[in-house]
Chains A and B, each alone.
Chain A
C-alpha cells in the first residue's frame, strides 16, 4: 500500500490484522506509549488499540472557574447521537457537579492531547466511559484535597456533594468555585488510587437526559440536553453557519466519473454571472482517492447562490480515459455480473463440516439470492467547510467525524505541519459515515490558499452530495441450505459479494477485508453442522465508504431473510425456528469463527452472546404480540442481528393498504447494549435507525449509468418522510447486570430493520422481497 497510513486508517480497520505487514512500524510506535500504562495483552483491544488511545487527565477535560462554572471539554463529534450531553453526564456525575452549572466546550482536533477523536464505529461511550469517569473522579478528589488542606483535616473526611465539598464533622462547606484555584495546583491522583463513585451514588448516569419532560412520569426531569435550546431557536452552529466578514463562497464542479480528470475549462460565461469572482482548478488525485478531493473546478463568488449559478455556466471537458472502466460502470449490469460470479465458489472464509454432502443429502434444498444497492448517506447537512490561513497557520471549521484525519489531510495538502493546522469541529447536521471522510475540508484548504488565506466556504449542493459521496457498497448475497425431513438445517452455504472499502486506500483488493467480513458475515452464529462461507471477487468502480453500520446491512438482510425462508420451507414458526438456528444460550469466541476483529474489542470481554441474542428476540416478539391472530393482508415480521458488540431484534406489524401502499402499524425494537449511560438518547438512536432502515428497505437506491449517478436530489433519491414512520415505535431496552461491557448504540439498531420489514411484508402479502429497495415491487 502506497498511501501513508494515517489516523483514519488506523482507526477504522483492525490494526492488528489489516496493518500487519503494511504499517507495522507506525502501529508499534503508537503501541509503545501504552506499554507504559498497560499490560501486554490488553493494549490490543478497545480504546487502547486506537491511534492515540485514550486520555484520562482531568486537566485536559475539566476546568472549574472561580464562579463555580464547570466546563467539560468534549472531544468526540456530535452528530445527533447526543454525545455532548451523554459523555458530559459521566464527567459531571463523577465530579459531583450540578448540571445547571456545567458547560460544554468542543475540542479542536488534537489527538496528542485528547486521545482518539475519530467518531465512528459506535465507539464513543464504549471507549470513553471509563477514562472520562476517571477524569471526573480525579478532579473531585483534587477538590476534596484542596478543601482538606484549607481546613486542616484529613482528605478522607471531605466529600464532594452537589457542586461543593463538605466536611460533615464540622459542618463546613466550600463551593467548587472557591476551591478551583487551589485544586488546580495539586497533582493528579494516580490511577490506581482513584475512588470511583459506586453506582448507587450516580445522579446522572443511567438517567434519561435530553427531554425536559418525562411523559411516563409526567414530570420535569434533568439533565437537559446540552444543545437543545440552541437547536430549537436556530442558534446552534453547524459547518455551514461559520462565517467571516470577508469570506468567499465556493461550489465545485467535480469529475462526473470516479477517476476522471479535468482536461480543460471555459469559464467565460461563468465569470459573467453577477457576484462570481474567479474560478480555481482543484487538483484531482486519481485512484485510490482516500480522503483527497476529487478535483475539478471551483467557482468562487460573493455568495453561495452566485457560485451555484456560475457553476451552471462552466463548460468543462473531462478526461474520462483516466477513469478506465469506471466510465462504463452500469449498476444494473454490475448486479448481473455479481449474480453470475455468485454461482461459482469464491475465496473460502469459513468451512465447517461437509457442506457438499449436507446439501446433496438434504430432504429439501432452499436457495435465494439477495441484492442491496448503492446508497448515499445523505445527511441533511451536505458536506461543507470553511478555511482560512493567517500568518502561515491554517484554520478550518467543519462538521467532521474524524478531526484527526481532517487535520493531517489539510496539513499535507497545504504543505504544513499538523501543528500549524487548527481544525474546529462544529456540530454535524448528521453524519452516518459520510463525514468520516473529510475530502471537503481539503477542498476548502486548497481554495483559501488560492486566495492568499482569505476565508472560503465550500458548500456541497445536494446533487454534489448524491453524485460524489463515498457510496455504500452494493452487494449480492447468495445462500443455499439443506434441510432434513424435519426441516432442521444441516448445511448452510453463503457467498457474499461486494466491493471493499479497502479500494479507497489501496489497489482494489476485490475481496472484502477482515473488518468487513466481521460485520455479520463470518460471525454468523447459527448452530448448523455444515457451514461454508465464501467471498467471491467484486471490483469497485466508485468511491466506496462507510455508511451507518456498513457491511452489516447486506449481511443481516440476507441472513435474516433467508432464515425466514427456511422457517417457511420447514413449515415452522419463524421465531421458534430462528431460536433453534441460534441454538442454546452460550458465549462464542468470535476467533473460533475466524473473526480476529470483533469491532476492535477483546473477544473475552465481548464474546458473541447467544443468550443475549435470544433475549432480544423474546422481548421484541412478546411486546409485539407475536402469534396473535391478524386479518388477511396483515402480518408480523422479525429479524435479529448483533453488531458493534450490541444486540437488536425488531418486529414490524404491517398491512398492505388499498392501492399497494404499505401501512406500518408498529415497530417493536428490543435492544441490549449493556449498561446505559443515557437511555433516553439510546431510544432516540433506535427510533431513528428504524426510520432509516425503513428507507433502506423501501426506497433508497443510487444507480449508475456510464459511471455517473442517476439521482440528482430527493425527488429521485428517496428517503423516508414522516408518513413512512411507523404509527407506533416502541423501543425496549434490556439492561443486563452492569458487569456486562458497554456496547455500541449509533449503528447496531439499523441492520435488522430492513429484513424484519421484508419478513413482515412476506407475512402480510406472501411476497418475498430479495432485491432492495422494495420500490414498486408490491404493486407490480
Chain B
C-alpha cells in the first residue's frame, strides 16, 4: 500500500508499487491531463511535480511518491505561478496539437519557481527534456519570458 496526495487529496494504491506514477494517474485515478510519450524519461510529456520538483512520472514508481505530494496539470490553475504560465501560453497561442503542453507547462512552472527571470539559455537548459513534435519552441520561450514579466508586474 502506497499513500500520497495528488493535487491535495489523499490517494492509496495497493497495486504493484513499481507501477509508474504515470499509469497510476492515467489508468487508475483517471487524471488524464498527464500524457504518455515515451515511457523512458526522454520526452517530458508525463512531467508532474513531486513535492514541487518536476519529475518524469513514467519512470517514477508509485513507491517513490510515498508520503509525498504529487501535483499534476489539473491543479496548475490553483497555483499562482502555474496560472501565470497557463495564461502566458494562452496569450501567445503556444499550443498546436497541445499533447505535449501539459508537460511543458509543468516544466516551465518549476523553472520559474527556481528562477523568476530566466534567459534563453536557461530556458533551453530547463526545457530541453520536453519534446514538442509540433515545434512550438519559439513560442514556449516567449511565453516563459512573458510569464516571468507578469510575475514581476504582480510582485
Nearest B residue to A459 by beta-carbon distance? Answer: B36
| Interface size range of chain A in the complex | 35 or more
**Cα–Cα, bound, A28→B30 (Å):** 48
**Cα–Cα, bound, A687→B132 (Å):** 12
**Cα–Cα, bound, A81→B76 (Å):** 25
Nearest B residue to A686 by beta-carbon distance? Answer: B135
Contact in complex: A304, B131 (CB < 8 Å): no
Nearest B residue to A685 by beta-carbon distance? Answer: B96
A380 with B45: in contact, given A713-B38, A714-B38 (CB under 8 Å)?
Answer: yes
A688 with B32: in contact, given A234-B74, A462-B38, A722-B137 (CB under 8 Å)?
Answer: no
Contact in complex: B19, A213 (CB < 8 Å): no
- Let me know if A228 is at the binding interface, CB within 8 A: yes
Q: Which of A51-59, A148-156, A427-435 contacts B (4 or more CB under 8 A)?
A: A427-435
A379 with B97: in contact, given A233-B86, A240-B32, A429-B35 (CB under 8 Å)?
Answer: yes
Q: How does the 8 Å CB contact mask read for A371-387 relative to B, with 1 for contact and 0 for none?
A: 00000001111100000
Which chain B residues in 25-82 approach chain A with CB under 8 Å?
26-28, 30-40, 42-43, 45, 72-74, 76-77
CB distance from B62 to the nearest CB of A (A): 10
Contact in complex: A691, B137 (CB < 8 Å): yes
Which chain B residues in 96-155 approach chain A with CB under 8 Å?
96-102, 105, 120, 123-124, 127-142
A274 with B15: in contact, given A212-B91, A721-B131, A723-B124 (CB under 8 Å)?
Answer: yes
Q: How does the 8 Å CB contact mask read for A419-439 relative to B, with 1 for contact and 0 for none?
A: 000000001111110000000
B15: which of A275, A427, A720 is its contact (CB, 8 Å)?
A275
**Cα–Cα, bound, A308→B136 (Å):** 31
Number of chain B residues whose Cβ lies closer than 8 Å to a Cβ of chain A: 61
**Cα–Cα, bound, A116→B111 (Å):** 45
A380 with B96: in contact, given A684-B136, A713-B38 (CB under 8 Å)?
Answer: no
Residues on the B chain within 8 Å of A380, using CB: 35, 37, 43, 45, 97, 99-100, 131-134
Contact in complex: A234, B26 (CB < 8 Å): no
Which chain A residues in 316-367 approach chain B with CB under 8 Å?
none
Contact in complex: B73, A80 (CB < 8 Å): no
**Cα–Cα, bound, A461→B43 (Å):** 13
Which chain A residues in 422-467 approach chain B with CB under 8 Å?
427-432, 459, 461-462
Contact in complex: A213, B92 (CB < 8 Å): yes
Overall SS of chain B's interface: loop
A233 with B74: in contact, given A81-B96, A212-B90, A303-B23 (CB under 8 Å)?
Answer: yes
A231 with B32: in contact, given A215-B92, A721-B128 (CB under 8 Å)?
Answer: no
Contact in complex: B98, A688 (CB < 8 Å): no
A688 with B96: in contact, given A303-B27, A462-B40, A723-B128 (CB under 8 Å)?
Answer: yes
CB distance from A622 to the nearest CB of B (A): 21
Residues on the B chain within 8 Å of A275, using CB: 15-16
- Let me know if A671 is at the binding interface, CB within 8 A: no
Contact in complex: A235, B99 (CB < 8 Å): no
- Let me know if A174 is at the binding interface, CB within 8 A: no
- Let me know if A727 is at the binding interface, CB within 8 A: yes
**Cα–Cα, bound, A688→B93 (Å):** 13
**Cα–Cα, bound, A594→B97 (Å):** 37
Nearest A residue to B89 by beta-carbon distance? Answer: A232
Nearest B residue to A235 by beta-carbon distance? Answer: B33
A429 with B141: in contact, given A233-B86, A235-B33, A305-B27 (CB under 8 Å)?
Answer: no
- Let me know if A135 is at the binding interface, CB within 8 A: no
A234 with B73: in contact, given A80-B96, A229-B90, A429-B35 (CB under 8 Å)?
Answer: yes
Nearest B residue to A684 by beta-carbon distance? Answer: B96
A210 with B39: in contact, given A304-B23, A429-B98, A722-B124 (CB under 8 Å)?
Answer: no
CB distance from A222 to the nearest CB of B (A): 12
Nearest A residue to B20 by beta-carbon distance? Answer: A305
- Let me know if A726 is at the binding interface, CB within 8 A: yes
- Let me know if A715 is at the binding interface, CB within 8 A: yes
Contact in complex: A80, B76 (CB < 8 Å): no
Nearest B residue to A727 by beta-carbon distance? Answer: B120
Contact in complex: B72, A234 (CB < 8 Å): yes
Residues on the B chain within 8 Å of A644, using CB: none
CB distance from A726 to the nearest CB of B (A): 7
Residue among B32, B45, B130 with most chain A CB within 10 A = B32
Contact in complex: B73, A379 (CB < 8 Å): no
Overall SS of chain A's interface: loop
Residues on the B chain within 8 Å of A232, using CB: 76, 86, 89-90, 95, 101, 105
Residues on the B chain within 8 Å of A461, using CB: 39
Q: How does the 8 Å CB contact mask read for A108-137 relative to B, with 1 for contact and 0 for none?
A: 000000000000000000000000000000
- Let me know if A510 is at the binding interface, CB within 8 A: no
Residue among B19, B77, B97 with most chain A CB within 10 A = B97
Contact in complex: A233, B131 (CB < 8 Å): no
A234 with B34: in contact, given A305-B20, A427-B97, A713-B40 (CB under 8 Å)?
Answer: yes
Residue among B37, B76, B92, B101 with most chain A CB within 10 A = B37
Residues on the A chain within 8 Å of B105, using CB: 232
A231: which of B28, B34, B95, B129 is its contact (CB, 8 Å)?
B95
Contact in complex: A231, B93 (CB < 8 Å): no
CB distance from B144 to the nearest CB of A (A): 10
**Cα–Cα, bound, A378→B36 (Å):** 13
Contact in complex: A304, B27 (CB < 8 Å): yes
Which chain A residues in 168-216 approach chain B with CB under 8 Å?
210-213, 215
- Let me know if A243 is at the binding interface, CB within 8 A: yes
CB distance from B135 to the nearest CB of A (A): 3
Contact in complex: B127, A722 (CB < 8 Å): yes
Residues on the A chain within 8 Å of B36, using CB: 240, 304, 382, 459
**Cα–Cα, bound, A239→B38 (Å):** 16
Contact in complex: A233, B33 (CB < 8 Å): yes
Contact in complex: A680, B93 (CB < 8 Å): yes
Residues on the A chain within 8 Å of B32, using CB: 234, 237, 240-241, 243
A80: which of B31, B77, B98, B128 is its contact (CB, 8 Å)?
B98
B135: which of A79, A233, A429, A725 is its contact (CB, 8 Å)?
A725
- Let me know if A515 is at the binding interface, CB within 8 A: no
**Cα–Cα, bound, A304→B31 (Å):** 14
Residues on the B chain within 8 Å of A81, using CB: 96
Contact in complex: A231, B15 (CB < 8 Å): no
Contact in complex: A238, B99 (CB < 8 Å): yes
Contact in complex: B27, A381 (CB < 8 Å): no
- Let me know if A398 is at the binding interface, CB within 8 A: no
A722 with B130: in contact, given A243-B30, A274-B15, A687-B138 (CB under 8 Å)?
Answer: yes
Contact in complex: A234, B123 (CB < 8 Å): no
Residues on the A chain within 8 Å of B34, using CB: 234
**Cα–Cα, bound, A227→B97 (Å):** 10
CB distance from B97 to the nearest CB of A (A): 3
**Cα–Cα, bound, A691→B86 (Å):** 23
Contact in complex: A228, B30 (CB < 8 Å): no
**Cα–Cα, bound, A224→B90 (Å):** 9
Contact in complex: B135, A691 (CB < 8 Å): yes
Residues on the B chain within 8 Å of A235, using CB: 33, 74
CB distance from A407 to the nearest CB of B (A): 22
Residue among B30, B38, B120, B142 with most chain A CB within 10 A = B38
7 closest pairs, A vs B, by CB? A234-B33, A691-B135, A429-B99, A80-B97, A80-B96, A211-B93, A234-B73
Please name 22 pairs of A and B residues whose Cβ atoms are closer than 8 Å in the assembled complex, sorted by A.
A212-B93, A225-B93, A228-B90, A229-B90, A231-B95, A234-B31, A243-B30, A274-B15, A303-B19, A305-B19, A379-B97, A380-B45, A430-B97, A432-B133, A684-B136, A691-B135, A715-B40, A715-B42, A722-B130, A722-B137, A726-B138, A728-B138
Which residues from chain B sit less than 8 Å from chain A, CB to CB? 15-16, 19-20, 23, 26-28, 30-40, 42-43, 45, 72-74, 76-77, 86, 89-93, 95-102, 105, 120, 123-124, 127-142
10 more A-B residue pairs beyond the given contacts A234-B34, A275-B16, A381-B37, with a C-beta to C-beta distance below 8 A: A80-B95, A211-B90, A212-B91, A228-B93, A243-B30, A303-B28, A305-B16, A430-B134, A689-B135, A721-B131
